[in-house]
Structure 1
Amino acid sequence: MKNNILIDIQHKIRKLIHRIPLLDRWLLGELIAPLLFGLTLFTVVSLSVGVMFDLVRKIVESNLPWTIAVQVLLLKLPSFLVISFPMATLIASLLAYSRLSANSELTALRSVGVTASRMIAPAIALALLMTGLTFVFNDVIVPRTNRSAEFTLQRSLGKAIAAEKGDDIIYSRFGRVTGPDGDTGKGLTQLFYATKFRDGKMIGVTVLDFSRFGFTQMLVADHANWSEAQAKWEFNDGKILTLTPSGSTTTADFDRYFYPLSSAPLRIAKLPKDANNMTVSEAIEAEQLLSDAGDRKEARRLRVRIQEKFTVPMACLVFGLIGSSLGARPNSRTSRSQGFGISVVLIFVYYVLSFSFSSLGVKGTLDPLLAAWGPVLISLAGGGVLLRQASR
């Protein structure tokens, strides 16, 4: 039964492949080998520089078991594949089309009326496939494997690692406040601060409350926990200081005190510090929380990172267009070493441009949408110019 199912699947795959025009199948076949070469090359280099040397040092100096090191290496692999996918797409398209041009095979295609746009269509299709694959890796796989790698490494080194941890947790709550003249408007009502967050507990908590007109209240506690049953914060071992409109102050100590505030500080504390360890949905939720908390700088940074979740995979399409257009130029003769050199230069230029735009977006000089998509649009326009030159 299983054999019949497998045979049926293989038959359907063959039928699907044969539906692809012969020209496209031939060109895709020429692209696969350099794609695998580039993917292997860039992954090994980046993995060695990024994590392998550090793991070897930990094996020697910290007695990290080699089995754990291999496990961490495998968990880190998807994050380096995301980096390698665009670069491998570039070197594959550049080398494949340069070789075909050097062998006059593209000239033969031009002689029978095949345009440059039609020649690079398989490269663009492959680049789109790599774009989708990069997005899936970057959004679904990498955040989970990065967290697992960190947890596995720290646990094996005997370090106490909390699943929930953070430092300097700040949350600002805004609402309707009454001014001295009796007018009401939107303003700061509560400011929550905790020095540390460990295993669901806020440590060293200070809350400033301005919600009552004329009164300023400060609550200081040794630690606090979110109570689901009460839907309030439970503060322990602290005191409340209240400044009244008349200028007098009152102080009260407490062992346990329930304070009405949302669970937003807890959700902020649980956010991963690195946006690369967030999925798109997690990043959108984090940006909303930070916006509500009044942390405009962090919220703006996350808005840029959310857009980059989509533009990072688009680098595959950019490099696929540029590489194939360069390689498809008449009389293009690029060896493997030259192709690698050209690829390094193009990769450097693109990522410097992306980093510059990203920095301007985080700073607030550029809109987050423009900061993330600007380099992609500029590069696609450059690829279009190269394609036009290749068509002459």
Structure 2
Amino acid sequence: MAPTWTEPLRRQSQKLQRQWRTLPLLDRWLFAEMLGPLLFGIAAFTAVSLSVGVVFELVRKVAEAGLPLWAAGKVLALRMPGFLVLSFPMATLMATLLAFSRLSGSSELTALRSIGVKTWRMVVPALVLAALMTLLTFVFNDVIVPSANYSASNVLDSALGRALSAQTGKNVVYSRFGRITPKEPGGNAGEGLTQLFYAKEFKNGEMQGVTLLDFSREDQQQVLTANTAVWDENRAMWEFRNGRILNIDAANNFTTSANYTSYYYPFTRAPQDVGMLPSDAAQMTVAQARRAEALLVQAGDQKEARRLRVRIQEKFAFPAICLVFGLIGSSLGVRPNSRTSRSQGFGISVLLIFGYYLMSFIFSSLGIKGTLYPFFAAWLPVLIGLGGGLVLLRKASR
């Protein structure tokens, strides 16, 4: 009989089962003990965070702003991956803490110690599970969450009759630096700010309320204002519409001005790219965030560029929280005669998570202010957490 379409799935399942059986019995047993609390933690923390972060706000919009129920349900489903990512580290902490506490309380870990199993060997499965959760968190955070949040914002805005969020931006500023043309031929005016582009709003592919200052010539400055400006891809120029141009001759203290309906100005399309940047780094992948950082550096917005550097490092550091919590949870639970109920484990997890996130927030703020390098602002909480976990593990091993 010819194989059905389910045959490849069956073979893959059998292969995974064989690989699972090759693991030592101790590891399979501990993995099985942690799986139940892990799934419970993911469900519990996701439900709580969704209720606080999304559900109440959607209910208010349905009641007050007339948001359709289908749109509210779609937004809720699209926002769920973002809250799943938040629940993965918390569930890892809770799973390792509860599983090892139960085994320690029932003297099963004591029995393992009596036959020579070291404490660090008991913790290895928890660290492997935490490493897998770290990888899963990074994949979710970089591949699924940005596009899901982007779609959720668009669904919400379109359902409420607003412009799509990806097509709008306010107070767009872009500055370009380069060589300034000197007064005399063969002279040297050096380098500096050549153009400063400002728009009150970028909406539906169009800049509105535009002002451009041109300092590219040493002996003359130019000011262009326009009601709107549109990037012309074919000409690689900006078309300023319904505005006024003012030329200032600094040497002779002379000015000229003229109104226009259409004026083409050679410039980069970077202001449009800046206007299209998501305001929230959670809607960007790592690659998009790096590109946005480069644009902000070109635009001379050092503060926003520094903030984005911190967020980029946090995209790598955040998944590592699973490893930190896995080490801390297992180290606390593996202590002799440790007994922790599910409710106590939930409470301890909340306290540890609150303390860790508070520390992360403080370091992140210092990084954005420039007090700490972005790398240290993002990774110091992870390193401190790992250090604390190793101390707890050492104490549990005595």
TM range (shorter): over 0.9
Counterpart-to-counterpart distance in 2, 1:275 and 1:268: 14
Counterpart-to-counterpart distance in 1, 2:103 and 2:21: 23
Q: Does 1:286 align with 2:288?
A: no
Give unmatched runs, 5+ long, in structure 1: none
Counterpart-to-counterpart distance in 2, 1:186 and 1:309: 36
Is the 8 Å Cα contact of residues 162 and 198 (structure 1) preserved in structure 2?
Answer: no
Number of residue pairs matched? 392
Tell me the amino acid that sits aligned with residue 193 of structure 1: Y
Tell me the amino acid that sits aligned with residue 267 of structure 1: D
Equivalent residue in structure 2 for 1:45, among 45, 48, 51: 48
Q: Does 1:264 align with 2:270?
A: yes
Is the 8 Å Cα contact of residues 96 and 327 (structure 1) preserved in structure 2?
Answer: yes
Q: In structure 2, the residue corresponding to 1:329 is in which secondary structure?
A: coil
Counterpart-to-counterpart distance in 2, 1:233 and 1:22: 68
2:229 equivalent in structure 1: 224
1:166 CA displacement: 0.8
Q: In structure 1, the residue corresponding to 2:81 is in which secondary structure?
A: helix
1:159 CA displacement: 3.2
2:253 equivalent in structure 1: 247
Moved more, 319-328 or 105-114: 105-114
Counterpart-to-counterpart distance in 2, 1:28 and 1:118: 13
1:80 equivalent in structure 2: 83
Moved more, 70-79 or 162-171: 162-171
Equivalent residue in structure 2 for 1:237, among 214, 239, 242: 242
Deviations 1:222-275 (A, max 9, x none): 111111111111111112111112111111222211111111101000000011
Equivalent residue in structure 2 for 1:94, among 93, 97, 100: 97
TM-score (norm 1): 0.97
2:113 equivalent in structure 1: 110
Counterpart-to-counterpart distance in 2, 1:62 and 1:45: 24
Equivalent residue in structure 2 for 1:341, among 343, 347, 358: 347
Alignment of 1:1-392 (within 5 A): 1-2=3-4, 3-161=6-164, 163-177=166-180, 183-244=188-249, 245-392=251-398
RMSD: 1.5
Instruction: Evaluate the alpha carbon distance shift between residue 266 and residue 338 of structure 1 in structure 2; reply closer, same or farther with a 3 A threshold.
Output: same
Moved more, 271-280 or 338-347: 338-347
Tell me the amino acid that sits aligned with residue 88 of structure 1: A
1:162 CA displacement: 5.6
1:163 CA displacement: 4.1
Is the 8 Å Cα contact of residues 157 and 165 (structure 2) preserved in structure 1?
Answer: no
Is the 8 Å Cα contact of residues 191 and 208 (structure 1) preserved in structure 2?
Answer: yes
Counterpart-to-counterpart distance in 2, 1:338 and 1:379: 21
Q: Percent identity?
A: 60
1:180 CA displacement: 8.7
TM-score (norm 2): 0.95
Counterpart-to-counterpart distance in 2, 1:4 and 1:333: 46
Is the 8 Å Cα contact of residues 192 and 207 (structure 1) preserved in structure 2?
Answer: yes
Is the 8 Å Cα contact of residues 162 and 199 (structure 1) preserved in structure 2?
Answer: no
Counterpart-to-counterpart distance in 2, 1:339 and 1:25: 23
Counterpart-to-counterpart distance in 1, 2:378 and 2:162: 37
1:330 CA displacement: 1.5
